[in-house]
Structure formats: C-alpha cells, structure tokens
Chains A and B, each alone.
Chain A
Amino acid sequence: AQSVTQLDSQVPVFEEAPVELRCNYSSSVSVYLFWYVQYPNQGLQLLLKYLSGSTLVKGINGFEAEFNKSQTSFHLRKPSVHISDTAEYFCAVNPPGNQFYFGTGTSLTVIP
C-alpha cells in the first residue's frame, strides 16, 4: 500500500524568503516521486520528478527537491519565492504502471 503525507496544509511565507514544503511517503514497492503545482481553477502542472539517479532533482520555476530514501521524504524547496508562486502544491508517488497517490496538498501563500 502507498500513502503520502504532506505535513503542512498551509504555508505562509514572505516574498523573497526561502520555503520548504514537506512530503513523506510510505510504500511497499519502489515508486517514482512527483511534485505538482495547481493554480486556482486550473489543472496540475508538473514541477519536478524523481525516477532514479541523483537524489537532488531540479524542476521548473527555481524549485528543487531531494529524495531521502532512509527518511522516505521528498521535500520541495525554493531559495527565494515570488508572489506568483502562490498556489496549491501536491506531492505524489507513482508505483510504475499504477495510479498516482496524492498527498492532501499544501497551500503556499506568498506575502508581499
């Protein structure tokens, strides 16, 4: 069985400050790991993904995430946020060939 936990439902942060959105998962099989962003009334946009190889993954819009196998975590980070980063962020795991399992989402609000 797979599950994804996003520990913070809401994260307020000031503009140009760094941010970390936490994601922990559990799985009985190997999984791929993803972060998606969803802007109001829009679909999912892929930020980044980890399939294999280097545990530090760089994505779009200056985001990066680090896969930590021992801690079963895949935290998302950005060194300096912008107002336009205000959105809902979803962490997801995907056992190859299977459905996606999503976390409950983290609402990031960037404060001017």
Chain B
Amino acid sequence: GAVVSQHPSRVICKSGTSVKIECRSLDFQATTMFWYRQFPKKSLMLMATSNEGSKATYEQGVEKDKFLINHASLTLSTLTVTSAHPEDSSFYICSARERMGPQETQYFGPGTRLLVL
C-alpha cells in the first residue's frame, strides 16, 4: 500500500527554537494532507488541513502563527513549530489523502515525537 513518511521521527530541542517536521507521500500525490497532535495517553486531534498550493485551514484554538504549515508540492507538507515551548511537546502525526478516480484513501505517517526542554 501507499506509504507516508515523517522526518524526523524524534526531535529534542531547546525552548525558543523552531522545529520543522516533514510529511511525505512516497508513491502517490496528495493534494490534501492533515496534521494531528496527540497528547500523552490521549486521542489524536486535528490541528490543520494542508492543501497543496494554498493556505492551510486551521482548527479552532490552533495558533496559525505558531504552527506554520507549508504544502509546497504534491508529495510534501511541512509543519514548523515556531519558538517552541515545553507545552508544545507532543506526538505529531500527519496523514495524506490519495485519490484514484472516485476512490480515496488516507494514509497515516509514523509520527514525530517532539520534546522541548
């Protein structure tokens, strides 16, 4: 099946620095990608919908200036956590939507664990 990768898988950074997380669809084109956040022992919550060539759509309560999303190509979306703070520590998971005619399937990446010290 289709594969979605995320890089890095794990990152530790100092408070105040920015961190970029990449989400790639490896063998299909994804006009839409989704970014989720998972707090420890909690469910996944959608942060934003990333559309290729246009601005991302953010969910209520998600700071768009803090979580910058860029979907510059049909196979790559990036999430940049700007001026990261310890409360941003979390597990970030992306998904990519593959369309084949009327059928569509979403595939999840393996996740990126961010720890801000």
Contacts and interface: CB of A to CB of B under 8 A. Distances in A.
A102 interface: yes
B101 to A, nearest CB: 13
A104 to B, nearest CB: 5
Contacts of A100: 34, 36, 44, 46, 95, 106
A100 B45 CA distance: 9
A14 B44 CA distance: 28
Contact of A97 (B36, B104, B111): B104
A102 B49 CA distance: 16
B77 to A, nearest CB: 14
B44 A43 contact: no
A70 interface: no
A97 B108 CA distance: 15
B30 interface: no
A102 B43 contact: yes
B42 A96 contact: no
Interface residues of A, number: 17
B44 A96 contact: no
Interface in B71-117: 93, 95, 97, 104, 106, 108-111, 113
Contacts of B113: 41
Contacts of A54: none
A99 interface: yes
A107 B41 CA distance: 9
Contact of A96 (B36, B49, B104): B104
8 contacts: A43-B93, A43-B109, A46-B108, A94-B106, A100-B36, A102-B43, A105-B41, A107-B41
Sorted nearest first, the 7 A-B pairs with minimum C-beta distance are A43-B110, A43-B111, A102-B43, A104-B43, A102-B44, A44-B108, A99-B46
Interface of A: 36, 41-44, 46, 90, 94, 96-97, 99-100, 102-105, 107
Given A99-B49, A100-B36, A102-B45, 18 more contacts: A36-B108, A42-B110, A43-B93, A43-B108, A43-B111, A44-B108, A46-B108, A90-B44, A97-B104, A100-B34, A100-B44, A100-B95, A100-B106, A102-B44, A104-B43, A105-B41, A105-B42, A107-B41
